[in-house]
């Protein structure tokens, strides 16, 4: 992935290249890109916690996100792993 897409001014270009958004009109993709905020998270940092409402849609530019839950017997169960070009958190937004 080209690291130049990690800055806010290039977010419209990056959004237009994502399959997830390819069926939307360009004007809608531009609005989404304009409302986007580019953030970096450290390894192990939580985007949101189990039981909390997801309030953001995350477009992954680089790195990976693990979606997991802590079971009743304290086992960390991984539901999915998301990588560059994928999204997560959409269920809480829609």
Find the CATH number of the domain harbouring 58: 2.60.120.10
One digit per residue, the tens of pLDDT, for the chain of length 94 reads 333 334 556 676 777 777 777 788 888 888 877 888 888 888 889 888 888 877 788 888 889 999 899 899 999 999 999 998 888 877 766 6
Residue 8: predicted pLDDT: 54
Residue 53 is given by DSSP the state: P
pTM above 0.95, yes or no: no
Residue 80: predicted pLDDT: 92
Residue 78: predicted pLDDT: 93
- Total domains in the chain come to 1
Q: In this structure, what are the phi and psi dihedrals at residue 35, rounded to the nearest 5 degrees? A: -85, -5
Spatial neighbors of 88 by CB under 8 A, at least 6 apart, are 47, 57, 58, 60, 65, 67, 80, 82
Domain residues for 31?
A: 3-93
């Amino acid at each position: 992935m080209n690291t130049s897409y990690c800055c806010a001014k290039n977010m419209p270009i990056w959004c237009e290249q994502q399959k997830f958004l390819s069926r939307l009109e360009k004007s809608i993709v531009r609005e989404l890109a304009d409302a986007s905020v580019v953030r970096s998270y450290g390894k192990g940092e939580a985007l949101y916690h189990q039981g909390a409402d997801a309030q953001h849609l995350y477009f992954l530019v680089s790195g990976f996100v693990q979606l997991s839950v802590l079971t009743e017997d304290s086992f960390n169960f991984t539901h999915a792993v998301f990588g560059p070009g994928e999204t997560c958190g959409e269920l809480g937004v829609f």
